[in-house]
Amino acid sequence: MDNVINTVRETIDKYNMFNPGDGVVVGVSGGPDSVCLLHVLHKLKDAYRIQLYGAHVNHQLRGQAAEQDALYVQELCNRLQIPVFITSINIKQISQEQSVSEEVAGRQQRYAFFFRIAKRVGANKIAVAQNMNDQAETLMMRFIRGTGLEGLSGIHPVRKDGVVRPLLEVKRKWIEQYCKENHLNPQLDETNLQAIYTRNKIRIHLIPQIIKEHNANFIQTAANTADLIREDHDFIEGYVNSIIGKQLKKDAKGLFIPSSFLLKEHVAIQRRMVRKVIEIFKGNTMNIEYKHIEEILQMARQGCTGTAIDLPGDLRVEIIYDHIHLLNSTAVGKKTEKIFYPLKLNEQIFISELNSTVTARIIEKDDLASIELNNFTKAFDYNVINEEIYIRNRLPGDKFTPLGMKGTKKLKDFFIDLKIPKYKRDEIPIVATKTDILWVVGYRINEKYKCTHNTKKILIVKFSGGITND
């Protein structure tokens, strides 16, 4: 008994799992692991000054046995004077509706319930009962299926969302002995003894064979290996996080990062960076496989503008000049709304398609010095224009003479020279007459309409909001 309590205490201290005043929701299935966890934390609660809450989910998969589990948890928490919350969820139905295994559905629903209870009672930690044997099983399962350092780092003692695992360095046989010595009589789930899930097969057949034939101390060895890999993973993850923020940029449709910056790193860092950018864009890397990462890196190495790959979760990755762009594939195919607004002097024009406001006014030449010109505020020789002015999208055949140049240039070639992505070109407003472009907003005015020493009246056009914030 002391062995378990001392090991849990050491684990809590090593990973700083609790702070005085923490509220801790303990997931209790009624089995030996979770019952041991609840009982040990109850013994340590005063030492760590934490408040405990029990939480149990009846998965409705085992009939009367599941009802008995819930009753047992209720009685145990009552005996220990720990508030308990119990719910019943039809995991089989959810599994079918979401097309996931009952095991996955059950885990998702359990954690969702634990977090709901934590929010209700004001708790900031959730304690679950994975132990050292679970760590070994997880390591083997992930290795068999295929994974990288992150997967081989196994079960983490502490998660960023507040989930902690105080039993992670305790062996299962110690837990069973603890329950026996304390007369806890936990419930037994007979499905854990059946080789019906991959984890069960590893637990029942594979690991005992390894222990018998190859390494009698395999459980400890696997746990130590997971710890070493997790430390390496955390170091590399920290390095990637420290360098990626300065290079990652955002526009209206997605994220992008320079290919040259990515490719100068070691290939191990390249893979991590690609996964990190996907995680930042999507919020997760669910269903993103090794082959997807390799395809993206291969596109970056080839550097062919316009090459793209569609990935799970409506993610599109495209090479655009020297950048890797991550876009939402459902938005890529949408056509930009056409805009056409007459420019009116001394009036505010709100362009809903751009979420921008445009103002235009005439000033005397002497007043120009007081105007702050920038990418979205420009001055034009009003006497040269002599036509009605409009705000519109680009049109086929558009051309103009960019400021500082001689002769005309196709607008398409102008965009190519500036390496403006195709999807973005239709979103750039054009200030023009019926016959000529005055201004490619955000970029360049037409040489013909610049102010000179002969200019008398000056047209000031200003865009604000919307595109100016992108």
pLDDT digits 0-9 by tens, 93-122: 999 999 888 888 999 999 999 999 999 999
CB atoms within 10 A of CB 317: 24
Q: Which residue has the tokens 């090479």?
A: 319
Q: What three-state secondary structure class fits 164?
A: strand
Amino acid present at 450: K
Residue 144 CA to its chain's centroid (Å): 26
246-332 CATH pick, 3.90.1150.10, 3.40.50.2020, 3.40.605.10, 3.30.465.60 = 3.30.465.60
Q: Which residue has the tokens 């996080």?
A: 241
Outline which parts of the chain fall under CATH 3.50.40.10.
340-469
Q: Which regions of the chain are under pLDDT 50?
A: none
Phi/psi of residue 92, nearest 5 degrees? -60, -45
Task: Name the CATH architecture for the domain at 2-232.
Answer: 3-Layer(aba) Sandwich (3.40)
What is the Cα–Cα distance from 440 to 438, expressed in whole angstroms? 7
- Selection from 33, 313, 368 nearest residue 179 by Cα: 33
Phi/psi of residue 75, nearest 5 degrees? -70, -40
In the sheet where 315-320 sits, what is the strand order?
A: 249-250, 254-258, 323-328, 315-320, 308-311
Task: Check if the beta carbon of residue 282 is closer than 8 Å to that of residue 272.
Answer: no
Q: Give the global pTM.
A: 0.68
CB atoms within 10 A of CB 246: 8
E-strand ranges in 343-433 read 348-351, 356-364, 377-381, 390-392, 399-400, 409-410, 430-432
Amino acid 452: pLDDT: 92
Amino acid 418: pLDDT: 86
User: Within 13 Å and on the Cβ side, how many CA atoms surround 409?
Assistant: 20
Residue 267 CA to its chain's centroid (Å): 22
Q: Tell the CATH topology of 340-469.
A: Phenylalanyl-tRNA Synthetase; Chain B, domain 3 (3.50.40)
Spatial CB neighbours of 118, under 8 Å, sequence gap ≥ 6: 23, 25, 53, 124, 125, 126, 162
Amino acid 390: pLDDT: 94
- Catalogue the long-range contacts made by 111-118 (C-beta closer than 8 Å, 24 or more residues apart): 111/163, 113/55, 113/57, 113/85, 113/87, 113/89, 114/25, 114/27, 114/55, 115/161, 117/25, 117/53, 117/55, 117/85, 118/23, 118/25, 118/53, 118/162
- What DSSP character marks residue 166? T
Q: What three-state secondary structure class fits 62?
A: coil
Task: Check if the beta carbon of residue 305 is closer than 8 Å to that of residue 320.
Answer: yes
Outline which parts of the chain fall under CATH 3.40.50.620.
2-232
Supply the Cα-derived Rg of the chain in whole angstroms: 32
Rounded to 5°, the CA angle 107-108-114 comes to 90
Outline which parts of the chain fall under CATH 3.30.465.60.
246-332
Beta pairing partners, 255: 250, 326
Amino acid 145: pLDDT: 85
What is the Cα–Cα distance from 11 to 165, expressed in whole angstroms? 9
The dihedral of CA 346, 350, 354, 356: what is its sign?
Answer: positive
